[in-house]
Amino acid sequence: MNPFPHPVRAPRLAAWALALASLGLHGTASALPMGHYESWMLMLDSTPASRSFSANYAVAQTWAPGGTLRRWQEPVDHGASLLRESAGLSLTHRLHRWNLPHAQANLWLVGDAGQVRRAAGHGRTGGQGGYGSLAFMADYETTRVYFGGSIKALRGEDSLRHNVARLRTGFSFWEAEYEGIQPWLLVEAERTRYSAGSMREGTLFTPMLRFIHRRWFVELGVNREGGMFNLMFNH
CA distance 198 to 134: 21
What the chain holds in terms of domains, given with CATH numbers, is 40-234 (2.40.160.40)
pLDDT at 195: 66
What's the whole-number average pLDDT of the chain?
A: 83
How many other C-beta atoms lie within 10 A of the C-beta of residue 78? Answer: 9
* Helix intervals (H) in the chain: 10-23
pLDDT at 7: 39
How many other C-beta atoms lie within 10 A of the C-beta of residue 224? Answer: 8
pLDDT at 200: 57
The region that residue 199 occupies, defined by phi over 0 for left and psi between -120 and 50 for alpha, beta otherwise, is alpha
pLDDT at 197: 52
CB 217 within 8 A of CB 210: yes
pLDDT at 13: 39
pLDDT at position 49 over 60: yes
| CA 7 from centre of chain | 39
* Segment 119-162, tens digit of pLDDT: 877 666 778 899 999 999 999 999 899 999 999 999 998 778 88
CB 134 within 8 A of CB 153: yes
* Segment 76-128, tens digit of pLDDT: 766 678 888 999 999 999 999 999 998 999 999 999 999 999 887 766 677 88
CB 68 within 8 A of CB 91: no
Collapse the DSSP code of 78 into the 3-class scheme (helix H, G, I; strand E, B; otherwise coil) and give the result: helix
Rounded to the nearest 5°, which phi and psi values hold at 231? -135, 135
CB 40 within 8 A of CB 72: no
Largest CA distance in the chain: 81
CA distance 7 to 22: 25
Residues pairing with 69 in the sheet:
53, 87
Element (H, E) at 74: strand 63-75
CB 139 within 8 A of CB 166: no
Residues 58-75 have a mean pLDDT of: 94
How many other C-beta atoms lie within 10 A of the C-beta of residue 176? Answer: 16
